[in-house]
Homo-oligomer: A and B are copies of this chain.
Amino acid sequence: MKTWNDYKEYVKSVDSEAQKDIEEIENIASIVGTLIEKRNSLGLSQRELASMCGIPQSSVAKIESFKTIPNLDTLLKIMKPLGLKLTVSTV
């Protein structure tokens, strides 16, 4: 069983430019992962959350399952009822 790190190292060995793409993927995964955890910790189903956001359940599912990368406005719509906010800070 290969781990995510195994794939990461492989991709970087094949494509030296992959580093920043990988960082971006992990960044997105981290943000979306936080959404999922928060939704679960609040005991909300995708349908419930979606109706709070005013977006369809299918859109929530696509984002949570990494089928699509959300727009900033959609992301904020979802974060709002979860009590989450997006902050820009310096590295």
User: Which residues of A are in contact with B by a Cβ distance under 8 Å?
Assistant: 20, 23-24, 27-28, 30-31, 34-35, 69-73, 75-77, 79-80, 83-91
Interface majority SS (helix, strand, loop, mixed), chain A:
helix
Contact B79 A88 (CB under 8 A): yes
Inter-subunit contact A86/B24 (CB<8 Å): no
Chain B residue with Cβ nearest A25? B73
Determine the residue in chain B with the shortest Cβ distance to A20.
Answer: B80
| Beyond A28-B72, A86-B88, 12 additional pairs, beta carbon < 8 A | A24-B73, A24-B76, A28-B76, A31-B88, A70-B72, A83-B90, A84-B89, A84-B90, A84-B91, A86-B86, A87-B88, A87-B89
